[in-house]
Structure 1
Amino acid sequence: MKKFSLALAYMLISIGLFAQDNTVEMATLLRSSGKIWVVVGVILTIVIGLFIYLFTIDKRVKKLEDK
């Protein structure tokens, strides 16, 4: 399991290094117009919502396990 996670980390790092050479026009346009913060805000809202949902499900499961 440890070797698998290490191999996965190396693959993700190498993919990130290859992606550094290309410039995405859409990202440049969003940065220049300031709309990138809207995208970041929406993504953060979704991620925070998922974490809250998972924590509430965990509490419910613990409550059912205690019964």
Structure 2
Amino acid sequence: MKQLIVTLIVLFVHLLASAQDSVTHVDQTRTGLYAGGKIYVVLVVAVTILVGLFLYVIRLDRKITKLEKNS
């Protein structure tokens, strides 16, 4: 379970790092969510949802394991 979580975190960080603009695209006009700085709000919300889902699944797994041991 810990390996899965570490693997997912590493993949997520890799995707974030590869999604950054390169130096050649700096002089382009910023549009959309990136122009107003709202992309960071979207990113924080997405990360919060993912962390919440991971914590929920881990908690649910522990409860199910506890129920399996009792029966």
- Pairwise TM-score range, normalised by the shorter structure: 0.5 to 0.7
Which segments of 5 or more consecutive residues in structure 1 lack a partner in the other structure? 1-27
Query: What does residue range 36-55 of structure 1 map to in structure 2 within 5 Å?
Result: 36-55=39-58
Higher Cα Rg, which structure: 1
Structure number with greater CO (CA < 8 Å, separation at least 6) is 1
Shift >4 Å, 4+ stretches: none
More off after superposition, 28-37 vs 47-56: 28-37
Query: What does residue range 1-67 of structure 1 map to in structure 2 within 5 Å?
Result: 28-67=31-70
Q: What percent of counterpart residues are identical? A: 45
Which segments of 5 or more consecutive residues in structure 2 lack a partner in the other structure? 1-30
The RMSD of aligned alpha carbons is 0.7
